[in-house]
Structure 1
Amino acid sequence: MSVERWVFGYGSLMWRPGFDHLERQAATLHGRRRAFCIYSVHHRGTYERPGLVLGLAPGGAVRGAAYRVAEEIWPEVYGYLREREQPTETYVEASATVRLADGRKVETLTFLSDVHHPQWAGALSLERQAELIAGATGLSGRNVEYLRDLIIHLRQQEIRDHAMEKLLVMVDALELVAK
């Protein structure tokens, strides 16, 4: 009997997993929430001008996507995910139980925010998040585009995150003033 391998994504893994999978299901993880809670000094900011990226902060629940991966390619997928999700080791690799849209509960590999890492930003106000995101740019592009992509893709999954949408309005206003 082979072990089922699942990966849970709550941000860009939802729309750009970057690996082959056998199945994709909408999924909910309880006990964690999607939040801009990690200073980005790599992908969406720099050490001189950090931005913010998503993490799974303690509390609440988060809707995302779970991917079932074939056992024979698991080592390759796992290596890819470690490289993608751990450039500055701001996440803690963990096993988490999610409920799939079809009602099944499965164990998934997920990356939780490391609340002890120096890049942990914690619970910032929307105003402070907007200040950090506006104007920040890293190796993967502008921070505001990451936020915009998130909202677009959440809507495509029929997920409305009103706080993220309000945050985008605030960031757009700050960037307009800066021009």
Structure 2
Amino acid sequence: MSLTPQLVALCERPEADPGRDRNSPPLTDAEFETLAKQFDDDCGPEPFWVFAYGSLIWKPVFNAVEFRRATAFGWHRSFCLEMTRWRGSPAQPGLMMALARGGCCDGLAYRLPQEDRQAQIERIIRREVDTGDDATTLRWVPLQTVHGPVRALASWVGPVGGGVLHKLPLETVAKTMARACGHGGSCADYLYQTVIHLEAHSIRDKNLWRLQELVADEIRSIHGLNHPAAGPKEEPQRRRPSNVTGSVTPTFKPPAPICRL
């Protein structure tokens, strides 16, 4: 992997929190509760699944009783959301990942426990969205797993409107991510954490893998560092098929070692 903790550290710097956008009022407690109830009621007695394709894999806010490798067909990861807060600033906006139309996306599906389910759904929604406009990106996504199809809640699915920058070349994305940092950390760190935690589950997104190479090159260029000595191009490590399922303890932490079938 080209992007290393040492390179990521070069992107970190203290940044003040610019605060919320005054033109986008945050959801109220009552509105968060209503959203959670709507999704909970819509699911009914069926198991409630959550699709994690980014930071929910390595920084969850919920308990889970099961996880499975899952694929969302018709969607792919895309750093297409411009942000001036958290991992960006007004002076140097960053890019956040969403699901955009086309292709497929491999991630993890987590099943929530039946008890206290609505409260857990609300925690997920509060983590993922802030405003009413944000909430429109919450939707059910059909997934295919080793045990058959499931329907899962996902966030930032098919966003539209201002601040959405579709079909950016990876080279352009890399230039932004090598420079952007906010009070919540750097974009380079987000990319690094996402890639290594996907790798831990035998998931390799070819665009993210290429992007981490480009971001590493850009960081070296910014800081005048020599590139590693030329050698054979690294080949992706071949792994066994990763249709996996597993379980986690009620006090959920990043998933335990994968159980292979």
Tell me the residue number matched to 2:70: 27
- Taking the aligned partners of 2:114 and 2:90, their CA distance within structure 1 comes to 38
Kindly indicate whether residue 46 of structure 2 is the aligned counterpart of residue 3 of structure 1: yes
The answer (yes or no) to whether the contact 1:44–1:141 under 8 Å persists in 2 is yes
Return the offset for 1:87: 3.1
SS at match of 1:92: coil
State the partner residue of 2:129: 86
Deviations 1:11-62 (A, max 9, x none): 1112322210111111111110111111122221123311112110001110
Please report how far the alpha carbon of residue 166 of structure 1 lies from its aligned counterpart in structure 2 after TM superposition: 2.0
- Alignment partners' CA distance in 2, 1:19 and 1:130: 31
Q: Of residues 172, 176, 179 in structure 2, which corresponds to 1:135?
A: 179
State whether residues 7 and 108 of structure 1, in contact with CA within 8 Å, keep that contact through their aligned partners in structure 2: yes
Give, as a single letter, the amino acid of the residue that structure 1 aligns with 2:109: A
How many Å apart are 1:125 and its aligned residue?
0.2
TM-score when scaled to structure 2?
0.63
Amino acid at match of 2:55: S
Q: Which residue of 2 aligns with 1:97?
A: 142
Equivalent residues of 2:98, 2:159 under 8 A apart? no
Change in Cα spacing, 1:31 to 1:71, as seen in structure 2 (3 Å) is same
Instruction: Note closer, same or farther for the CA distance 1:91–1:9 as it changes in structure 2 (3 Å cut).
Output: farther
Partner of 1:120 in structure 2? 164
Residues 1:110 and 2:154 are matched in the alignment:
yes
Which of the pair is proportionally richer in strand? 1
Tell me which amino acid in the other structure corresponds to 2:83.
Answer: S
What is residue 146 of structure 1 aligned with on the other side?
190
Tell me the TM-score normalized by structure 1.
0.90
Supply the AA of the counterpart residue of 2:176: L
Which of 89, 92, 97 is matched with 1:49 structurally? 92
How far 1:119 moved relative to its partner? Answer: 2.0
Identity, % of aligned positions: 30
Structure 2 CA distance for partners of 1:105 and 1:17, relative to 1, 3 Å? same
The DSSP-based 3-state class of the residue aligned with 1:158 is coil
Once residues 119 and 113 of structure 1 are traced to their aligned partners in structure 2, the CA distance between those partners, rounded to angstroms, is 14
Q: After the TM superposition, which segments of 4 or more aligned residues of structure 1 sit over 4 Å from their partners?
A: none
**What is residue 254 of structure 2 aligned with on the other side?**
none
Q: Is residue 76 of structure 1 aligned with residue 76 of structure 2? A: no
- Mapped to 2, the partners of 1:90 and 1:21 lie a distance apart of 23
Partner SS, residue 155 of structure 2? strand
Structure 2: state its 5+ residue gaps: 1-43, 224-261
Q: Name which of structure 1's ranges 79-88 and 29-38 shifts more when overlaid on structure 2.
A: 79-88
Which deviations, in whole Å up to 9, do the C-alpha atoms of 1:68-114 show, x marking residues without a partner? 112322222221111111135276110111112x2321111111344
